[in-house]
Structure 1
Amino acid sequence: MLSLLIGIPLLGAAVIGLIPERGNKQVHRTLALIFGLILLGLSLGLLLNFDPHLGSLQLTETVAWIPQLGLIYELGVDGLSLPLVVLNGLLMFIAIWASGQVERPRLYYSLLLMLAAAVAGAFLAQNLLLFFLFYEVELIPLYLLIAIWGGPRRTYAATKFLVYTALSGILLLIGFFGLSWLSDTNSFTYTVLQAHPLPLLQQSLLLIPILVGLAIKIPLVPFHTWLPDAHVEASTPISVLLAGLLLKLGTYGLLRFGLQLLPDAWEQAGPWLAGWAVVNVLYGSLNALVQQDMKKLVAYSSIAHMGYILLAAAAATPLSLVGSIFQMISHGLISALLFLLVGAVYTNTGTRDLKLLEGLLNPERGLPLIGSLMVLGVMASGGTPGMVGFIAEFVVFRGSFPMFPLQTLLCMIGTGLTAAYFLLMVNRAFFGRLSEVAIAMPRRRVGERLPAAVLAVLVVLLGLQPAWVTGWVEPTTAHLLHPPAIATAPVTAAEGPLSLL
């Protein structure tokens, strides 16, 4: 079943790539929607086959691929990866829906589905080299999606993204080889490496390249500079995927590689990581306050909110780890919603400049629905009770405070700053008299607003019923903190075909 989450998007990319663009260009989008819907259905199907009471890996698949190199095709899902796999299916379908008419649709939709397969594979991989393979594969379609369909400075932004993320992969690979070599297991399997813990000094040395590599991907200050450029130049659907999914590969890695495989070094580094989280939250928030481009403002907001995940991961308490995973889902939904709405404003008005926009909530000639959804989105991001952002941040702060009270209090300032910069954005763009650039706006079809409406509903539903996420997560967080002492032998070439447990 897990292999289908990788294979179906790849099959879709191949099918779309074989259909020429001459004739009806809608066929490529229709096929992409069909395969995206299948991917979403399979992702939701995991919930039916997953036992939420177990904290260990489930639905595992294992086959010897290149065992001489330690590369084993090993997939599995637990409460850490399950919500992110479902998020991948949801946001990919929404991104396809929101894409509409694009130039070169055959290449565009093929790249989107390739990206979906790579992200799903990274979240499901239970072998370090397999994770690295998917981690690198996702760079290619995302680079092309920015470089071909991006804004005026798309080449610069795409190249900067590629260089930064390639460096991230190199650092991760160094850490992964070090884990296998120093553990003397000749294996890259998570469970094997976890059963052979290293001394503190070796863990600390390996944590450095892994942490810096993940910090580039998240991104954390000072490795963040590629993100605002990429968001500003990327098209709206690509910004949705970049903020909602791709950044989560880094935060996922913090828990999977830092906490799970290097627990002693992670505990020693906890205070420093919490301080880093404070810098990230305050720096991102203060930069968001001075932005005039709505998209750049939301991009810096994403940088700030990544700091909450780092704080919770650094505290490493049962409650804070639940909060870190919940914050990943919360940020994925809210940031996707905000980027969709900013994209709708740009499509209708031709600008994202807050100096030029005003009065978009005008019920007759403005964008009242977009404005209403934007108010909901910024309230959720600011931590308004009853929405998913409040639950996520509350659990993060409540779980982190016993370990790092000062750092938690400083990070809480970020919630106030979030309310401040989003209030300024909404007040400038949506209230007051309708600006001249918005007077001649064309009327948009209701179907173009459906993706944002779906995300808005989820933001409220998960805020009112957080157990729909936490119920799947809690056993796994306990398992991450107190894993069973079971040694697992590496898979050899002699082992049989794919086994589904």
Structure 2
Amino acid sequence: MLSALIWIPVIGGIIIGFLPQKQAEKSRLFALIVASILLVITIIIGFEFDPNVNGLFLSESFSWLEQIGLNYYIGVDGLALPLLFLNSFLTLVAIYASNPKLDRPRFYYALLLLLSAGTAGAFLAQNVLLFFLFYEIELIPLYFLIAIWGGTNRGYAATKFLLYTAISGALVLASFLGLVWLSGASSFDYEPLRSQMLPLSSQIVLLIILLAGFGIKIPIFPFHTWLPDAHVEASTPVSVLLAGVLLKLGTYGLLRFGVGLFPDAWGVLAPYLAIWAAISALFGALAAISQKDMKRVVAYSSIAHMAYILLAAAAATPLSLVAAVAQMISHGLISALLFLLVGVVGKKTGTRDVDTLRGLLNPERGLPIIGSLMILGVMASAGIPGMVGFISEFLVFRGTFSVFPIATLLCLVGTGLTAVYFLLMINRVFFGRLPQAFSNLPPVPWSDRIPAIILAVLIVILGLQPSWLVRWSETETAFLYNNEQLISNFRPLISGSLDR
């Protein structure tokens, strides 16, 4: 079943790509079927998964290129499973939300499926070199999705994305190669590398390189500049996948490889990572306040909220580690909802300019349902109780305060600023008198409403029943924490903080 999550979309994408021109209009239906199969497989794995089991619940492996230590070794545990579900679900949402009349549909839907395959492979990989291959493969379809179906400056945005993420991949690969070379390991398999005993100085150097690579992918200030441009020029479905899933490869890498492979160095660098997270959170929130494009507001909001995951990873307590996974899922669902709704607003009004739009919540001539869902998404992002954004951020701050109280308080300020910039956007765009230019907006079909409604329902359900969100990862993140090297490094930080 694990290989099916990788190879079914690959085969499906190839079949779509070779459909006859006369059958091109069926490519969307075929892609929906493939994506639905992937979601069903992920749900089946979830039902069979035992959250009380440490380590891999399912795995598949065979020797591939033994000479260089590259094995086809994939597996799923409590850290990867929630992200696999997010990938399968948002892939289906993105395909369903795509324009049925877009140009070159065969190539478009084939790329979406290949993007899903590469992302799933990265989450499943238990060989660090295999992870790198999938990590790099997914940027190729995303580049073409932005460069071909993007906005006016799509070429610039796609090239900038490609350059940044290529540098990210090079840094990640350099760290992995250095780890294997210095440790003398015979392969790149993850578990044997966890037991390596490198000198602290070597670990610190390798971890800094790895952090720079994943920091670009997340992205964390000052490596963030590619993200707003990519979001603004990308189509709505591509923005959904970019914010909802692909950014999580960076935060997943922090937990899996940063905390997992370099526990000694992580304890040394953790205070600096907490400061980095606080700076990025405040920068993203303050930058969002000054934006005039609704997509840019949501994009900078993503930078701020992804920084909370870095803060949680830096603290590396059992609670903060499970909170990091919860925040990844929470941010994925909320950002996907917001980008979907911003896309509908732009499609119906012809603009996303905050200073131009007014009164869209008008019940008769505006977009009342879209506006109501947008208010719900904004409330979730601002951490209103009863929604998934509240529980994930509460767990992050509760798990980090005992270790990094000042950084946690600064990130709490960033959460307060979330309400500021989103309320400014909501007030300007949806309230007030509807201008004459927008008085005859075309109705929003249910095909545009259904994905947003499903996302909104999930956001509320997981907010009311948070155990459904965290139960999958509690055991695995506790196992990740139960590293004596990590505990010994953090015990002085925790006890000193409690003494204060």
Does TM, scored on the shorter chain, surpass 0.5? yes
Indicate if the aligned counterparts of 1:55 and 1:477 stay in contact, CA closer than 8 A: no
The secondary structure found in structure 2 opposite 1:162 is helix
Alignment partners' CA distance in 2, 1:161 and 1:435: 37
Alignment partners' CA distance in 2, 1:181 and 1:49: 38
Pairing 1:477-488 to 2, within 5 Å after superposition: 477-483=477-483
Query: Which whole-Å deviations, capped at 9, do the CAs of 1:296-329 have from their partners, x for residues lacking one?
Result: 0000000000110000000000000011100000
Q: Which moved more, 1:25-34 or 1:233-242?
A: 25-34
Alignment partners' CA distance in 2, 1:437 and 1:133: 50
Deviation at 1:440, TM superposition (A): 2.5
The secondary structure found in structure 1 opposite 2:472 is helix
Indicate if the aligned counterparts of 2:165 and 2:216 stay in contact, CA closer than 8 A: yes
The secondary structure found in structure 1 opposite 2:63 is strand
> Are 1:29 and 2:28 matched, yes or no?
yes
Deviation at 1:48, TM superposition (A): 1.6
Indicate if the aligned counterparts of 1:20 and 1:106 stay in contact, CA closer than 8 A: no
Q: Which moved more, 1:179-188 or 1:215-224?
A: 179-188
Query: Which whole-Å deviations, capped at 9, do the CAs of 1:37-62 have from their partners, x for residues lacking one?
Result: 00111111111221110121121111
Deviation at 1:200, TM superposition (A): 1.1
Indicate if the aligned counterparts of 1:21 and 1:105 stay in contact, CA closer than 8 A: no
The secondary structure found in structure 1 opposite 2:73 is strand
Query: Which whole-Å deviations, capped at 9, do the CAs of 1:140-178 have from their partners, x for residues lacking one?
Result: 100000000000000000000000000000001100001
Alignment partners' CA distance in 2, 1:342 and 1:21: 32
Pairing 1:76-115 to 2, within 5 Å after superposition: 76-101=75-100, 102-115=102-115
Which structure has more relative contact order (CA 8 Å, sep 6+)? It is: 1
Query: Which whole-Å deviations, capped at 9, do the CAs of 1:432-487 have from their partners, x for residues lacking one?
Result: 111233222111211221000000000000000111121111000111011599xx
Alignment partners' CA distance in 1, 2:422 and 2:103: 33
Query: Which whole-Å deviations, capped at 9, do the CAs of 1:246-303 have from their partners, x for residues lacking one?
Result: 1000000000111000011001101000000000000000000011100000000000
Aligned match of 2:411:
411
Pairing 1:102-501 to 2, within 5 Å after superposition: 102-483=102-483
Query: Which whole-Å deviations, capped at 9, do the CAs of 1:198-225 have from their partners, x for residues lacking one?
Result: 2211110101111100000000111100
Change (3 A) 1:229 1:335: same
Runs of at least 4 residues off by over 4 Å: none
Aligned match of 1:489:
none
Aligned match of 1:72:
71
Amino acid at match of 1:11: I
Indicate if the aligned counterparts of 1:348 and 1:438 stay in contact, CA closer than 8 A: no
Amino acid at match of 2:62: V
Indicate if the aligned counterparts of 2:382 and 2:390 stay in contact, CA closer than 8 A: yes
Aligned match of 1:62:
61
Aligned match of 1:490:
none
Aligned match of 1:39:
38
Indicate if the aligned counterparts of 2:90 and 2:244 stay in contact, CA closer than 8 A: yes
Indicate if the aligned counterparts of 1:146 and 1:233 stay in contact, CA closer than 8 A: yes
Amino acid at match of 1:185: A
Indicate if the aligned counterparts of 1:164 and 1:216 stay in contact, CA closer than 8 A: yes
Aligned match of 1:494:
none
Aligned match of 1:4:
4
Indicate if the aligned counterparts of 2:97 and 2:447 stay in contact, CA closer than 8 A: no
Q: Which moved more, 1:322-331 or 1:181-190?
A: 181-190
Amino acid at match of 2:305: H
The secondary structure found in structure 2 opposite 1:61 is strand
Which blocks of at least 5 consecutive residues in structure 2 are unaligned? 486-500
The secondary structure found in structure 2 opposite 1:373 is helix
Deviation at 1:25, TM superposition (A): 4.1
Aligned match of 2:496:
none
Alignment partners' CA distance in 2, 1:198 and 1:55: 25
Alignment partners' CA distance in 2, 1:26 and 1:435: 38
Aligned length: 484
The secondary structure found in structure 2 opposite 1:94 is helix
Query: Which whole-Å deviations, capped at 9, do the CAs of 1:353-404 have from their partners, x for residues lacking one?
Result: 0111000000111000000000000000000000000000000000000000
The secondary structure found in structure 2 opposite 1:60 is strand
Alignment partners' CA distance in 2, 1:58 and 1:188: 20
Amino acid at match of 1:92: T
Query: Which whole-Å deviations, capped at 9, do the CAs of 1:384-430 have from their partners, x for residues lacking one?
Result: 00000000000000000000001101110011100000000000000
Deviation at 1:20, TM superposition (A): 2.2
Which blocks of at least 5 consecutive residues in structure 1 are unaligned? 486-501
Alignment partners' CA distance in 2, 1:3 and 1:21: 30
Indicate if the aligned counterparts of 1:356 and 1:435 stay in contact, CA closer than 8 A: no
Indicate if the aligned counterparts of 2:263 and 2:483 stay in contact, CA closer than 8 A: no
